[in-house]
Structure 1
């Protein structure tokens, strides 16, 4: 069985190094063939070339422009499939793998099921950041499962509705049938959108709690309250609810819009950039503007 790990690097060579080192320390049965693909996603300097000097066994790809989380991962997925991958494992570059994580995922792998792990806070390893997740069909939100929970010792496998793109193991067969991530989401909600397509195609997502990953939360994106994150989360959440309206309750799109307008007014009192980011996100959603945008005054 050939498994390809995909890491997307954007001005984060140090984080990527630490992640690769943890992959190299992983212990798994020799029947598994494991490869690592690092996509340097338009970093200011060619960090792929720098990292290549240290890791001869890693496949490095370079995009001259930032393709976003979705586009960067898709570049790596295409490379993995061209080399005969049976499974691709999307892993955030700001994570550290437990030594047994790969073994636990691989021994539970099946060609018709997507797998995800238990993800703990790197700085608080006694607390869960995400273990599976749910989708609120009335409000249009997806939620990390057990976030903040300190019950980190559960080892029972179970099915869930949502798997974070931070750790998602996808069989080749599923990619062949439903495709890759949607490039023009650029950042955020692309993992939720993929989970919706999985559901529509009749596939399931399984959580393997014995597989443990440690996440340096938002270390690579600058935090989830930045105008950058606020813009893409807002626009893409509205888009996915509209595109998959047959799955959501009729109230989901209206709730999403109203709650974003309320948030926009709240931000106006203490963060004008975030308030404007929501305004632009709603405006762009309404006119169908997707992909990467540029609003320099907002830092986007």
Structure 2
């Protein structure tokens, strides 16, 4: 049987043990014999021995170096660019804090083949993760939360069959070659977050579809929003306003690109809405949710 090549795309920063645990789950996958994995990992300037640990335990990983300014979107974009040059049959985004179940990739491939047989020739396949302690849904496929807000999304829980969704978190995303060629790389307008949601929406804009794999593909704890988060109501107003424009916040320039691209003719309203809500919440001391439900 012909080899089936998958380029695994990852990025990391100072999470040595998590990164190594994620790689361990990746390299113990129960795969069909024809499947060949090549891992492209960007280490964005880690100082905790991540690169050394990866080189020692997984010498076949193609390790790329960043200077600490790439963040998630930039690191994944760099790894994606390297992978595109090798022209694999599939690209697999994998977060370095996601620990895969042994059948995760095989399940994603079989889901893709099922969808292809049903006529979904440009289908991207998303894996859902759950919390390792509570087993509750943490990341995966997302659907529009309500009809009137085109930029507000919520997670769609997996079922025992493939489910269509609107976009996704980037924790586990299987992208066929045709989609990679049509949609291209992650958008450089985004630094940390939002790039994964933008990519899922661009897949749909380019005639593709986004699907959730049946069941869970692994575990990933939800990222904490407390303490250093721009939406934390315990922070002073000036602190929240300062943090909102940081890479891990909701930078106005990035959000403007996202709104212009995906919110239709009323994009200025949806662009400014989260900042208006931030000012209101800060003024009245109330709580505020993120612009999406992670």
For the criterion TM > 0.5, the same-fold answer is yes
Q: Tell me, which stretches of 5 or more residues in structure 2 are unaligned?
A: 233-239, 289-294
Stretch deviating more after TM superposition (212-221 or 81-90): 212-221
2:72 corresponds to 1:69: yes
Residue 258 (structure 1) aligns with: 273
Whole-Å separation in 1 of the counterparts to 2:285 and 2:54: 41
Stretch deviating more after TM superposition (2-11 or 207-216): 207-216
2:125 corresponds to 1:115: yes
- Tell me, what secondary structure is at the counterpart of 2:167? coil
Residue 233 (structure 1) aligns with: 250
**What TM-score comes out, normalization by structure 1 length?**
0.77
Residue 86 (structure 2) aligns with: 83
Sort the Cα spacing of 1:131 and 1:177 in 2 relative to 1 into closer, same or farther, 3 A: closer
Stretch deviating more after TM superposition (230-239 or 175-184): 230-239
Residue 243 (structure 1) aligns with: 261
After TM superposition, the runs of 4+ consecutive aligned structure 1 residues lying more than 6 A away are: 219-223
Residue 155 (structure 1) aligns with: 160
- Tell me, what secondary structure is at the counterpart of 2:143? strand
What's the C-alpha RMSD, in Å, of the aligned pairs? 3.0
**What TM-score comes out, normalization by structure 2 length?**
0.78
1:128 corresponds to which of 137, 145, 150: 137
Whole-Å separation in 1 of the counterparts to 2:42 and 2:198: 22
Whole-Å separation in 2 of the counterparts to 1:96 and 1:220: 21
Q: CA offsets, 1:217-270, max 9 Å, x none?
A: 22799875476874333523333112334xx3x445314413421213423566
Whole-Å separation in 2 of the counterparts to 1:160 and 1:223: 31
2:91 corresponds to 1:98: no
Whole-Å separation in 2 of the counterparts to 1:24 and 1:221: 33
Q: Tell me, which stretches of 5 or more residues in structure 1 are unaligned?
A: 275-300
Sort the Cα spacing of 1:222 and 1:262 in 2 relative to 1 into closer, same or farther, 3 A: closer
Shift of 1:82: 2.4
2:59 corresponds to 1:56: yes
Whole-Å separation in 1 of the counterparts to 2:227 and 2:177: 32
The total of aligned residue pairs comes to 264
Q: CA offsets, 1:154-213, max 9 Å, x none?
A: 211121111211221112221212211012210111112112211211110111124512
Shift of 1:9: 0.4
Whole-Å separation in 2 of the counterparts to 1:124 and 1:238: 36
